[in-house]
Every structure is written in C-alpha cells, then in structure tokens.
Amino acid sequence: MEQKSNAFLETEKIGKLMRKYSIPCIISLLVGALYNIVDQIFIANAGYLGSYGNAANTVVFPLTVAALAIAVMIGDGCCAFVSISLGAGKKDDAHKSIGSAILLCIVSSVILTAVYLIFMEPILAFFGGKVNPETYACAKEYFFWIALGVPFYMFGQAMNPVIRSDGSPKFAMFATLAGAITNLILDPIFIFPMRMGMMGAAVATVIGQILTAALSIWYLFHMKAVKLEKGSFGLWSGLIRRFLVLGITSFLSQMSLVISMAAVQNMCTKYGAMDEIFGQPEYAQIPLAVLGIVMKFFQIAISIAVGTAAGCIPVVGYNVGAGRKDRAKTLFSYLLIAEAAVGVIALLIVEVFPSQLIGIFGAANESAYYTDFAVKSFRIYLCMMILATVNKGTFIYLQALGKAVQSTLISLTREIIFGVFLPVILPVFFGLDGLLYSFPAADILTFVFAAFIIRRTYKELGADAGVLRKKAAAV
C-alpha cells in the first residue's frame, strides 16, 4: 500500500508543525508586504516626491490588494483543497486542482490588468487620488506600471500557498524573499541617482514580482507530494467550484478590506477638506498620506497574524481529512495564544514609539502638522491591535476547517458592516478624529461576534475529540 507523503502532519507534535509551517508563511507574507512598504519608505524620503508620493502610494495600495484578493482566493482555496485531498488519499483531485488554479490565475490576472488600464482615471479618483493635482499625477504614473505587473504579482501570490501545501514552506518563503530583496535593491537606485520617481518605484516592484513568479513556475515542475502532468491542466469546473468555496473567505477578507479602504480614503479626503489645517491646499494630502503609513504598519502586524493562521491550513486540512479533529482543537488553542501575543507586541510598539515609526517615512521633510497627526493616528487607529489579530486568526482557522459560512460572516462583519459603516458615520460627529476611532470600534464589535463562534467551534471539536477517546478506550 502506498504511504501518504504528508502523513507526518497527523503524527508530528502540533507545536513543531505550527513552527515549521507558520514561520515561513509569516516571512513570506511580511516580505510580500514589504513591496509596497519599501516603495513608500523610499518615496517618502525623496525630497522631490515627499508626502505627495506618499499619498499617491496610499491611493494605489487598495488596488494591489484587490489583485491579491483574487490570487489568494485561488491559492488559499487550492491549498486547503489539496491538503484535504492528500489527507484523504485523493491524489488525482490534488494535481488537477493545481492545474486548474494555474490557468484560472493567468486568465483572471490578464482581465484585471485590462480593467485597470482602461478605467485608470475613474478608479484612481474613486480612491481619493484627486485630493490635489500633484498627488493625482504621482498616483497615475505609479499605477500604470503596477497594473502591468499584476499578472506576475497574482501568479506568485496564488502559487505561494500551493507550494506550501506540497510540503515546501521554505521554498515558498524563498521565492517571495528573492523578489522582495530585488525590489529593495532596485528602489533606491531608481528613485535617487536615476531620479525615475514613481515610475522607478513601480518598475522595481514589478521586476521583483517577475522573479517570484519565475521561481514559482520552476517549483511547479519539481513538486514532491503532487506531480503535475499534461492532464492536470484544464479548467475543471467541478474542482474549481470546490476549491474556490474554500478560498472565498480569503477573497472576501481582502476585497472587503478594499471596500473599507475606499470608504476610509474618501472620508479622509472629504473631512480633511473641512479641517482648519488640512483644508489648505498645501496640506490637503497629509491625512491621506498619514493613514496610508499607519495602515502599512498594520499590514506588517496583520501579516504576522495571517501568516501564523495560514501556515496552519495544511496541518488543519490534513488532520480533518484524516479524522483527527482532536489535533485540530489543540492547534486552535495554540493559534489563539499566538495571535494575542502578536497583538500585544504590536500595540506596545505603536503606543510607545509612534514618532520613531513616522520618522521612517520621511517625517523630517514634512511640517509639524504631518508629525502631530501621524502620532495621534498611530495611537488611536491601532489601539485594539490585540482584538484585530485574534479576529483575523479566527476566521482563517475556520476557513481551514471548511467552515466557510462562519469564516465569511466574521470577515464581512469586520470589513463591510463595521469597516464601512463606522468610517462613514463617526466623522459626521467627530470629524477626522471620528475616522480614527472607527478602526478600534470595528475591532471591538467584531470580537463580540467572533467570541461566540470561537466558543462554538471549541465545543464541536471537543465533542469529536471525546468520541475518538472513547473509541480508543474500547480498543
């Protein structure tokens, strides 16, 4: 009888598996996040770009997240489906689902690139790009080149979890790291001595994304647990439906974030124009630039939280497929503790070192209004980081369990119901400060809902573990 190549997922210690899979995943996501963050750091410290370039980067950021949303829906869904299939010994489903995911990613990325290029001006305007002419010019230049790189970006991001599901989290990390290092090297060269401006930052990013995509392609032809063959490649509608259902939570999580950012950025532009200081043309871009920087730090913290949870997907999926829900319960406990720890550390950093954080993004070149608003934004906007990381970890774990409905409910509650409603309503009463309070308020309200689902999930997994213990005792 053929032995399952990933059988160690059912026997290895939970803590060791969590470290093995989550740490490379965390690094991969952090490195992926660094693409946009590194661009913004170098842009902010270039005197000829400054806060205008910063604000432009903020405008374009949600559009890269939209591309990521499609990629992770395909990649995370395929990863979970492949892990469950391998746990159940269904290798044919595993290799065909990967082939379908590859083709689906290529088709969808080309379509998205076309949409971005055709509707560039109204899209940028929708995300606050016309706050002033200087910001709009920077955003348009940056977005054009970023749009051209969307197919490479999406392919690399979609294949990353697929590579992890094949039992190679370190290679997945390496592929992303190689691209990010390339971007890190090229950014200062293109922006400073070559003075290529926003175009330079974008081109450096795209070159890095091409490298990550190329490494991913190489790995696909050297897989271990799953071997791709000519018959793997096809748009198998039955398989696509099954793995997209598992990835829909990842899609909604990212797309709801895009919708939330659109609301925040529009309200930022609207109420910034009503502010005594930021209503002046020379300072109009500051609130948008600052919120973009605050969200970059949030992205770093949440990448750690998401990486911790996403790294557990192959472990959870395999054990659920193998009928070991007792191990899934133990992993859930470890995950919640880890997520809370990430939130505590992030909270301490933003509350104690806000000036140092903003200094990284070129505060020395800006007015005192820029620094003051940035410090206040860090301390208010991110004051509920602990709940934010626990919420994020919870719905990703539920996705790995195959509980798409519960996972989707938490995600939509946070980003759509609270993430859009609160930024629209609170500024009516509190101006720009209301926009800052909307973020922690959304995390508090979401956690109330998440806590109920966490308790229910524990009960379900505990009941299954009890049945297993009784069977073992009978034997």
pLDDT confidence of residue 423: 93
> Of 8-17, 54-63, 185-194, 443-452, which gets the smallest average pLDDT?
8-17
- Specify the pTM: 0.76
pLDDT confidence of residue 337: 93
pLDDT confidence of residue 361: 77
Does pLDDT of 5 surpass 70? Answer: no
pLDDT confidence of residue 151: 97
Burial class (CB in 10 A: 0-12, 13-18, 19+), 132: middle
Grade residue 470 by pLDDT with cuts at 50, 70 and 90.
Answer: very low
User: Which one has a higher pLDDT value, 37 or 102?
Assistant: 102
State residue 460 phi and psi, 5-degree precision.
-65, -45
Mean pLDDT of 377-398: 91
User: pLDDT tens digits for 236-288?
Assistant: 777 888 888 888 777 877 787 788 888 888 898 889 888 888 888 888 888 98
Tokens, residue 347: 């909270």
CA-to-CA distance for 277 and 273, rounded, in angstroms?
9
Grade residue 460 by pLDDT with cuts at 50, 70 and 90.
Answer: confident
Mean pLDDT of the chain: 85
Grade residue 467 by pLDDT with cuts at 50, 70 and 90.
Answer: very low
Q: Give residues with Cβ within 8 angstroms of 321, minimum separation 6.
A: 83, 84, 85, 86, 87, 88
